[in-house]
Amino acid sequence: MASFDHNVFQRLLGAVPTGTPGFFSARRSTGGWAMRSRTRRSDQSLTTAQEEGWSWSERVAPFGIRDVRVNHHVLGASIDGAATACPASGWGMVVAGCATLSMRPHASASIRSMTLHEGDVWSVPASVSAWFHCHPGGQASVVAFVGGREPEAGRDAMPDLSGQPLSHAGFHHSLMAQEAERTCWGSLRVVEADVFCDPDALSAALVEIEPDCRTDLHWHLNTSVWQICLDSEGQLTRLPKGCRQHNATLRPGVMAYVPRGEGYFVRNDGDRPLRLLEIFRSDHYHDLSLPQWLAASSAEDIAAHLCVDVGVVAGLARRENASSGRIVAFPARSGTH
């Protein structure tokens, strides 16, 4: 379990000297925090270059995480430079169009094929040979995350299921057909590992934030977060432990990374819903939002835990209740889930 940053409230409210005002005490700086593009990125670069968009095809060890690779494939015979087929490894999503997923579980097995549409996700075991291809005249854009799960403290290692038949669940899931969880700022669709027959499957969330809204400040304590912006534009605000807040612009094709246990929120700066694919290197989804914490504990307990005055926490609770996700109560236009 990642440790919780006890200074997060102080930094938000301007109580810790960081050289800049806290988030609630002054408007957002126009300069913000932007990441620079490099072929090999350091572990301090937590978003990809904004101007690249969907032009990238592969990120090897992005953000300094050596065991991770993220691929983006554009398929379609009618598109210049596009392939008609690509490997289907790891966990992924059809970002646009449709493509046929074909796989052969083992050398003597027959090929199984299924058509995946925009918003469908898949998870293919490492022992299975699988690939995507487009029908004549068809087009597709797919992203694949290869890297497996992060180790989690207190959890036993996953059993080896490679010799068991892969028939108790599917290889893909129609995420857009799943009923969304409605929030005050938009909607959330969560898919966890148990819907797939892959013993190493990941969990993910498709997040949609309405214009002029922001998600709650929240934390994922069990795993890091990999974000890929699919539509519209907005801003990711991270609160690294012991540092001032970091801001990064999100546009379609931009990938971002939030380390385990780090608080963050996302706001929509566009005129249409901001859509984010969030991938978690865990078999389950778990988050802790600021409103949940405020609702579950007394202001006195939280103030004692964070070493701030009880009036600070009580005032923050009133602001959260008043804002309800829409950007009306906060000096800076902001959001989280």
Can you point out the beta strands (E) in the chain?
A: 58-60, 69-75, 85-87, 90-104, 112-117, 120-124, 129-133, 140-146, 172-174, 181-182, 186-191, 203-209, 218-219, 225-231, 234-239, 246-250, 255-258, 263-268, 274-280, 288-289
The mean pLDDT value for 9-36 works out to 35
DSSP 213: B
- Indicate the domain borders of the chain: 8-148+168-323
Mean pLDDT of the chain: 77
DSSP collapsed to 3 states, 38-64? CCCCCCCCCECCHHHHHHCCEEECHHH
pLDDT of residue 28: 28
pLDDT of residue 129: 92
User: Per mean pLDDT, which range of 19-33, 100-114, 247-261 is the poorest?
Assistant: 19-33
The mean pLDDT value for 29-40 works out to 30
DSSP 3-state of 194: helix
pLDDT of residue 42: 37
pLDDT of residue 315: 72
The mean pLDDT value for 4-11 works out to 51
pLDDT of residue 23: 32
Q: What percent of the chain has pLDDT over 90?
A: 45
Residue bearing the bigger pLDDT, 135 or 252: 252
pLDDT per residue as tens digits for the range 68-127: 999 999 998 666 767 889 999 899 999 999 999 999 888 888 999 999 999 999 999 988
pLDDT of residue 40: 34
**What is the distance between the alpha carbons of residues 7 and 299, in angstroms, rounded to a whole number?**
16
87: exposed, middle or buried (Cβ count in 10 Å: 0-12, 13-18, 19+): middle
The mean pLDDT value for 250-259 works out to 95
The mean pLDDT value for 222-229 works out to 95
Q: What class does CATH assign to 8-148+168-323?
A: mainly beta
Q: Which residues pair with 206 in a beta bridge?
A: 189, 277
pLDDT per residue as tens digits for the range 262-318: 889 999 999 999 999 999 999 999 998 877 877 787 878 767 765 667 887 677 666
The mean pLDDT value for 35-54 works out to 48
pLDDT of residue 257: 96
Residue 236 pLDDT > 90, yes or no?
A: yes
The mean pLDDT value for 222-251 works out to 91
Residue 189 pLDDT > 80, yes or no?
A: yes
The mean pLDDT value for 232-239 works out to 94
The mean pLDDT value for 173-192 works out to 96
Cα 331 to its chain centre, rounded Å, is: 26
pLDDT per residue as tens digits for the range 132-166: 998 878 899 999 999 988 876 555 444 444 444 54
Residue 215 pLDDT > 80, yes or no?
A: yes
pTM for this model (two decimals): 0.76
User: Per mean pLDDT, which range of 49-58, 104-113, 325-334 is the poorest?
Assistant: 325-334
